[in-house]
């Protein structure tokens, strides 16, 4: 049964990846908005933002500071295409066709999820490449980079399973992808762009207790070779908790839609 599931998932993932390869503009489009935010904040606002040194941050210093938040925005932007592709498959009757074939049911969803993961990793690579051109530098070793990558992978999987639900239930194309807008702007109410100490009371409380802040701070500390402390466990708890919750909800919705 497991071999059947893995084989079906591999075949269907290959199908989805071929669609991506035929329209690489989706990956480029996913990266454009985060890169635009990065350029805007570094070269327009960066000199006016105080990172605690008593003066405005330089471009190189600020790109190091905001890159973790930009990476999360890239993922939030990319998962909208997962919901979009799922919506098209639902409307096109592909799920019904697969049901009439000896295909493991959950492999259809996992194929979309794994495709999302691959596409988002490529988009993240593009964003990091632009950040390097803008002056981003890190002395982090292989272990720290692997930890950052692992955290981003779990975060991507968590948001992708969240995207599965609107992809299966939306009535329109716009409805399938609109859910991602709050996720894209959530980093703006976190420590992604400015220290939370500069925020007014209620906003600061929200920023310090929402998941993006702990994830951003963990990635930033890893890349800066700073001790991560207990915040890494908070970040992992948020990512794993969101992943488990929305995986379970997505499977329930999928069974109801295809049952």
Render each residue's pLDDT in the chain as its tens digit; 259 residues. Answer: 455 677 777 777 777 777 777 766 667 777 888 999 999 888 887 666 666 655 555 666 889 999 999 999 999 998 888 888 888 877 776 666 666 665 566 777 888 889 889 989 999 999 999 999 998 999 889 999 999 999 999 999 999 999 999 988 888 878 877 888 888 889 999 999 988 888 898 999 999 999 999 999 999 999 998 888 888 999 999 999 999 999 999 989 888 877 6
CA distance 231 to 182: 24
The greatest distance separating any two alpha carbons of the chain, rounded to the nearest whole angstrom, comes to 66
Sign of CA dihedral 84, 85, 91, 95: negative
Q: What is the pTM of this model?
A: 0.88
Sign of CA dihedral 165, 169, 175, 176: positive
Q: Would you kindly state where each structural domain of the chain is located, as residue ranges? A: 2-258
């Amino acid at each position: 049964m497991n071999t059947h599931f893995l084989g079906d998932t591999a075949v269907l993932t290959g199908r989805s990846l071929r669609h991506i390869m035929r329209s690489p503009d989706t990956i480029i489009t996913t990266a454009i908005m985060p890169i635009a935010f990065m350029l805007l904040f570094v070269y327009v606002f960066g000199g006016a933002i105080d990172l605690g040194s008593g003066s405005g941050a330089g471009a190189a210093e600020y790109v190091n500071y905001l890159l973790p938040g930009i990476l999360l925005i890239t993922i939030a932007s990319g998962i909208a295409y997962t919901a979009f592709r799922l919506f098209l498959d639902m409307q096109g009757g592909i799920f019904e066709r697969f049901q009439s074939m000896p295909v493991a049911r959950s492999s259809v969803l996992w194929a979309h999820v794994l495709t999302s993961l691959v596409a988002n990793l490529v988009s993240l690579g593009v964003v990091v490449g632009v950040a390097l051109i803008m002056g981003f530098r890190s002395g982090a070793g292989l272990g720290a980079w692997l930890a950052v990558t692992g955290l981003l992978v779990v975060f991507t999987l968590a948001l992708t399973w969240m995207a599965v639900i609107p992809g299966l239930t939306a009535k329109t194309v716009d409805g399938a992808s609109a859910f991602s807008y709050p996720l894209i702007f959530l980093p703006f109410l976190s420590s992604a762009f400015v220290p939370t100490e500069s925020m007014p009371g209620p906003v600061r409380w929200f920023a310090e207790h929402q998941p993006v802040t702990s994830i951003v701070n963990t990635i930033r500390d890893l890349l800066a070779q700073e001790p991560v402390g207990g915040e890494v466990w908070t970040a992992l708890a948020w990512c794993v908790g969101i992943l488990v919750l929305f995986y379970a909800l997505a499977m329930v919705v999928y069974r109801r839609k295809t049952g």
